[in-house]
Structures are given as C-alpha cells and as structure tokens.
Structure 1
Amino acid sequence: MKNPDIIPKVKKWIEAHQLFSRGDTVIVGVSGGADSVALIHLLSAVQYQLGIHLHIAHYNHHLRRGADTDQKFVELLARRLHIPVTVGHWKNPCPTAKGSLEDRARRKRMDFFTRLAEKMPTRAIALGHTQNDLSETVVMRILRGSGLQGMRGIMPLKEMGGMRFVRPLLGITRREVEAYLTKNNLSFRTDPTNQHTQFFRNKIRLELLPLLERGYNKNIKEVLAHLADTAATDYAYLEQQAQKLFPKVAEDANSAAHVHMDLRKFQKAHPALQRMLIRLAIERLKGDTNRLTLTHTREIDDLIHHRPSGSIVHLPDGLSLQKIDARLNFRKKYNLHNR
C-alpha cells in the first residue's frame, strides 16, 4: 500500500470546512491512541500555516490499569512537541452506576474539554474522529431508528454550548492514519477495551462492518460516509426553511423557559418541517436534542394528531409538551411547577 503524505489532504479539509480562524487557540483532545496522536502531529505540522496555537487536553478516566501510563505517554508527547498540556481526572468513577459506562465517560471527557476551553478562554476543541468513526456512527444511528439528523453521523464542525467541536481527520480513513504513523515512526497507545464487543460501537466495528464489507459491499465505509454527507446537505436545507418559519408559528420564540406554537399554523407546514420545528423548540429550551428518541417522536406525533386537549408528553431533561386547544406548549420542568 502506498503511503501518500496526508498533511495537504488534512489541511485542505480544515480550510474547506472553515474549522479554524487565524489566531485561534485550539484545544486538542489526545488520549494517546492512534487517531489522536496522528491528529496532534498533523495539526503541529500545519499550525503556523493556519495561524493557530495548540493546547493538548488529556482526560484520565481511571477505569483501567493502563490509564496512568496513557497519561504519562501524552505528557511526554506534549513535551517533545513543545505544546502545553492540561490533564483532567475522573476522581470517583463507578463502573456499575446506572447508564452506559461508555456514554458517562464520554460526557465526563467532553465536560472537561469545555471547562478548559472556558478557562483559557477559547472556543475551538479538536477531536480525532476519522471517516471510519463516521461510518460506524451512521450504522449505530440506523440501528437505533434515527431520522435524517442522526444519519448525518459526525459533523466536521458542531457548535454546542458556545463551543466549536471540530474534526480535522473526518476526511481520512483509519488506514491512512495508520500508514501515516508507520511512515513517520510515531508510537501510540492501544486501548485493549477497543476489542471488547460488549460495547455497541466496538461490535459494529469488529463484527458488523467487516461482514458488510465481505458479503455485500467492499466499499461500505465510503458509501456510509457519502450517505452522511447527503443527509447533512438535505438536513441543512430543511433546518434553514424551518428557522424561517419558526417565528411565524411560535410565540415567545426567544424565551428560555417556554415556547408556545400555534397548532393551526403548525399543521399547515409539511410533515418534514413540522418535525424540524419541534426540534428547534426543544433546542431553544435545552440547547440540543440529545436523548430525543424515536419513541419521543412518535409520542409527540400522536399527541398532535390524535390526543385530546390537555394531553402531555414528557421529554428528556425535564421538558414537556402539552396540547392546549389550538396551542402546543413546550416548557421546562421548573416552569411547570412555578406557573
């Protein structure tokens, strides 16, 4: 296999998606694994051309025996690259606590990145997801019954909580990352839990995607990445149209406590725009639509079209949607108690 220089390819991806602005300080999440080690070396190679400053962030979850060794590896890497580093710790992890350990660890890590960015201050946080991660995510979303939004997989740039989470490696494959590391004799850490198939993503990467490659389409990862790109384009257009319509349908559209929608105006919109208007209302109140499932979507649809006035649907993070005559009332939990 040829080992072409991927530095120009990564730089072109960064510029095409406008991931950074000149003068940015970029927090780079580095676990010590292959993808994040490649990411920090590649960004180090182009930082002066892009006019950015780098700061490594490593989060020690303390969930496995090699976690402290990973931390020391990243600290040594930072010194060799002459890049400042900040380490965070999950002080009291409880593997048996309620909820997915993988999801809880990810939230802890992202919270650490966000707090560090606020402290510096900066808004840019770079993560080492590749095209393979994108393909895996699309499959995960399909299996969970996701709509168009979920089919986008991982976005090159996502604004969340005032931060800009960017993925400079999303345009290259894991094979290209491994070739780059081998060519440049760069060492990295291997997380043995990446081979544990009790984790949903690992099971898809190790079992389902190889099965699809062997028996159905050898280019399945590229096909899934293309599907994500198409879904992102279509979703962006629908979101744009819904944002234009939102102020005409919603009362108190700028309120952080509640959103009231005119049901008659809402029902005149195309069903695709109706779903988008609902997502916009929820985003206004809680900042995102995380944990909004297919079950919630069906409940909302049933409420709007079939249930009587006074009916209510409870949504994630203390939100609720109530149908009152010709209005749809989205409210935060505390607002329901205090009205």
Structure 2
Amino acid sequence: MKQEVDQFIKRHQLFEPFTTLLVGVSGGPDSIALLNYLYDMKVDWGFHLVALSVDHQLRGEESQADLQYVKQYCEERSITFVGVSLDVPNYKSKHKLGTQEAARAMRYQFFEEQMKENQADYLVLGHHGDDQVETMFMRMTRGANPASLTGIPISRTFATGKLVRPFLSVTKEQIESYCSANDLVPRRDPSNHEDHYTRNYFRMHILPLLKDQNPNLHQSVQKLSENMTDDSNFLDEQARKVSDEIIQYEDDPKQVTCSIIQVKKQPYALQRRMFHLILNYLYDTLPSGLFYGHETQFFDLLHSERANVSVNLPNKLSMIKSYQNLHFQFYQKKEVDFFKTLTIPGKVMLPTGAEVHASIISSDQKTKDKEKHKDYYFFPLHNNLQESDLAIRYRLPGDRIYLQGLNGRKKVKDIFIDEKIPVYQRDDWPLVVEKTGEVLWVVGLAKGTPSGSYRLNGDRFVQMEYRRKT
C-alpha cells in the first residue's frame, strides 16, 4: 500500500517538504492508518504534524473513548494533538439538518479554525478509493449531474492552504491490511454497519457486487474522476470568462442580472456552469435543498415564452424572468407604506439609494436637453403651491396619470408594461404625486400634467431631477 500512496502523492504533487500538516483523525482504520503513514514520512519530509480529533456527542462514552485513543497515540509519538467535543445534536436541531450533515458542517468549521490558528499548509483526510466509488455512484443515483462524475477531489483550496486526500489511490481492504501489519488497533464505529444510512447501504450491498465484476474498480473510477475533473475545470474557467462579460453582479444587496439572449448564445455546457457560478456568488454556503431540478428550471426560464415568470429557490432566493432578462434576488420585504413630502426646494432619499431633488429655476436655466430627458421634470411655478403639495410614494392599485396629448388618463401599470419594467421593480418604483393623490411623474418614465388650479408665478419653474444610485 505504501508504494501506491507514495506514487500517488508524487504524481499529483500533493505535498511540499517542511510544511505543517493537520490530519483529521477519528480513530477509525482509515484515519489512524493515515496518521501513522504521515508519521513515518515526518523525518524525511520535515513535516510538522497536528492531529485533529472530534467528539460529535452522538455516541456517548464511545465517542469520548475514540478521542482519548487518538490522544494516547499522539502522546506516544510526540505528535501535537487537538481534540474537541462538538454539540452536534443541538446544531442539528437549530439548523434543521440531518445528523451526518450537521456533524460534517461542525467538523469542517473546526478544521478551518485550526488551519488558521496553526497557519497550516495542508488539511489531510483519509478518504480512500472505495469512498470515491461510493460517492460517485451515490451522486449518479440521486441525479444525473455531470458534476457527480468528478467525485471526491484529490486536492482543493481550504482555509489557509489545501485539503488533500492521499489515500484515494487505495482500498479499504488495503488499509485494513496496513493496520494489521503495523500493529494498529483502530476504534470501530458500530453505526458504520447500520444500512439505513445511504452511504452504508452502498458500502454493504452495492460495492461488493461491483467489485465482483472488477476488483480494481477503485482505480478505474479514480481515473474517471481525474479526467472529468480536468475537463470540468477547463469548462468552469471558460464559463467564468464569459460570465464576467455578460453577467451583472451587485453586492448591496446581493443580486445578479443577465441577458437571456446573451446566455442562450453560449454552449449548453457553459450555460449550466454559469447558473452554478451565480448560485456560488449569491449563497455564502450552498443550501442542502438545491438539487438537479433547479438547474432544469433555470433552462425552462431561459426558453419560456412568458414575459414575466419566477421560480423560488432555497433560502428565499428567487429566479425571475422579466422580458429578456433573468434576475436573481433574495426576497426582501417591500416598504409598501413609503411616503415622503417633497419640499421645494428640497430632496428625498429613496430606500434604493437614489434621490429626487426639487429646485426653483428661471426659464433660461430650463434647457431643451433637460426637458427631453426622462430624469428631469419641469412645470411652471405657481403662487399658491404649498410646501406639502407634492410627495413621493410607491404605486397603489388603480394609479393613473394625465399624459400630455392623451385624451384621458393612463394606468401606471400599463406604463410599466410599455417600458418593460421587470415585475420585481414595479412595487418600489417612485411616483411623484400631488396632494390630491394624482400621479404627476412616474419618475424616469412618464411625465404627467398638473391637475390643480394654480396661479402662475412669472417665468420661474419647478425642476425635479431623479439622481440614480451610482
């Protein structure tokens, strides 16, 4: 086994000499064999080893004994040991997770903290070739996502360094033989023999059937994983380049907008990866509720003939098709009661960060360019215009506006439709209204006519300006 692992490490250049390695050690055969293997390498490579052991508080005294076993092994060999007891049951209940998912989340959080505290170069874990086979077949069973064929990565960025798995080249049987040959007596977790866990079911019932057909299945699957990873990494890089050109990312709040036409011009493989790049940008941690069906919904929206349609994703993220754009945003409670008096002169700050300014100007300051611009609105100053006569609010059901040259009034809703304003933007679009409630200006879109009876005040005008958030 040692020769196979040595060659695997050399081929993939997993380690640099004279570095700090943190080793995840449960006390089971895989992890104690890994720690023992690295201990034997320690002198030649100049490694500083730190063993990390976790009691997940799931098996009472047994899991505490596991931690003590690892501690004793380390003390006998002068290996730095860090053990911790984590309240997984409470975390599971608080975050509404499965047992294994909660245990993994807390364990990796502990690993990350230790990587930073020790300024470590590597976190080394004992996943082996049979784990790789189980993982890939489990993922393919749950959903036919190409990412399932990349399997468990040999190496990836983690905290201050890299997470590496040198045992992916060998089988569980080889590890057990290594333990026997080196007089290691690992701890045994009885739950590993309970087949109501999906992974255990695959390990106990599916893997033996596959290995009957090919005893070296782990080598074939590992090679497939490496090839698929290489291909996937290349396509991911291409998708990132395209995404930087055609996708608009916003930080505050986090949201993403992309042109459906531009996305559909890309090869299908890049479209799929762009979807996952968007999710990785928006979610701090990908939720467990995401599944292959959401990717299908993404493609359905791209090809939908409906002008406005949306799909809900986990954790209150919405995927919204509006005309020729696709928008991703988290649900935010609308400030439906927004209402601010617009004094003249004065300004109103909108919840979006934009502003509406009002001022009094002379006729020679009212240029034709500004008159035509949708972000400006002018009307003659009136002697009886009161300070509280104008206000800014959001739309209300039935809102209408008097438009110049139009016989009668037009629904504000129809203006939004004509201007192809996305549905998700309409409820908090600013409207300047008169004290009667009549809409004077659909800001930046349509200019109405004052409805009140006012006495004109010479050649002075009220200028309103919409200053968009930059």
TM-score under structure 1 length normalisation: 0.88
Confirm or deny that 1:264 pairs with 2:279. no
Q: Which amino acid aligns with 1:170?
A: L
Q: How does 1:101-120 map to 2 (within 5 A)?
A: 101-120=99-118
- Shift in alpha-carbon separation, 1:51–1:233, aligned structure 2, 3 A: same
Q: Which amino acid aligns with 1:276?
A: R
Partner residue in 2 for 1:53: 48
Q: Which amino acid aligns with 1:42?
A: Y
Q: Which residue, out of 17, 29, 38, partners 2:24? A: 29
Q: Which amino acid aligns with 1:118?
A: K
Q: Which residue, out of 302, 311, 323, partners 2:321? A: 323
Partner residue in 1 for 2:68: 72
Partner residue in 2 for 1:280: 277
Q: Deviations over 1:141-167 (max 9, x none)?
A: 011114111211100112256652211
More strand by share: 2
Shift of 1:140: 0.7
Confirm or deny that 1:87 pairs with 2:83. yes
Q: Deviations over 1:158-196 (max 9, x none)?
A: 225665221121112112211211111112111111000
TM-score under structure 2 length normalisation: 0.65
Are the counterparts in 2 of residues 282 and 288 from structure 1 also a CA contact under 8 Å? no
Shift of 1:299: 1.6
Q: How does 1:168-207 map to 2 (within 5 A)?
A: 168-207=166-205
Q: How does 1:233-312 map to 2 (within 5 A)?
A: 233-252=230-249, 257-287=254-284, 289=286, 291=288, 292-306=290-304, 308-312=306-310
**1-side partners of 2:81 and 2:42: how far apart?**
16
Identity over the aligned pairs, expressed in percent?
Answer: 29
Greater RCO, 1 or 2 (C-alpha within 8 Å, sep 6+): 1
Are the counterparts in 2 of residues 160 and 287 from structure 1 also a CA contact under 8 Å? no
| Greater Rg by CA | 2
- Shift in alpha-carbon separation, 1:297–1:211, aligned structure 2, 3 A: same
**1-side partners of 2:7 and 2:332: how far apart?**
47
Shift of 1:336: 8.9
- Shift in alpha-carbon separation, 1:226–1:61, aligned structure 2, 3 A: same
SS of the equivalent of 1:63 reads: coil
Gaps of 5+ in 2: 336-350, 353-470
Partner residue in 2 for 1:3: none
**1-side partners of 2:3 and 2:214: how far apart?**
29
Partner residue in 1 for 2:442: none
Cα RMSD of the aligned pairs, angstroms, is 2.7
- Shift in alpha-carbon separation, 1:256–1:71, aligned structure 2, 3 A: farther
**2-side partners of 1:231 and 1:267: how far apart?**
24
Are the counterparts in 2 of residues 257 and 335 from structure 1 also a CA contact under 8 Å? no
Give the number of equivalent residue pairs. 333
**2-side partners of 1:27 and 1:21: how far apart?**
14
Shift of 1:202: 0.2
Are the counterparts in 1 of residues 55 and 85 from structure 2 also a CA contact under 8 Å? yes
Are the counterparts in 2 of residues 158 and 166 from structure 1 also a CA contact under 8 Å? yes
Are the counterparts in 1 of residues 56 and 103 from structure 2 also a CA contact under 8 Å? yes
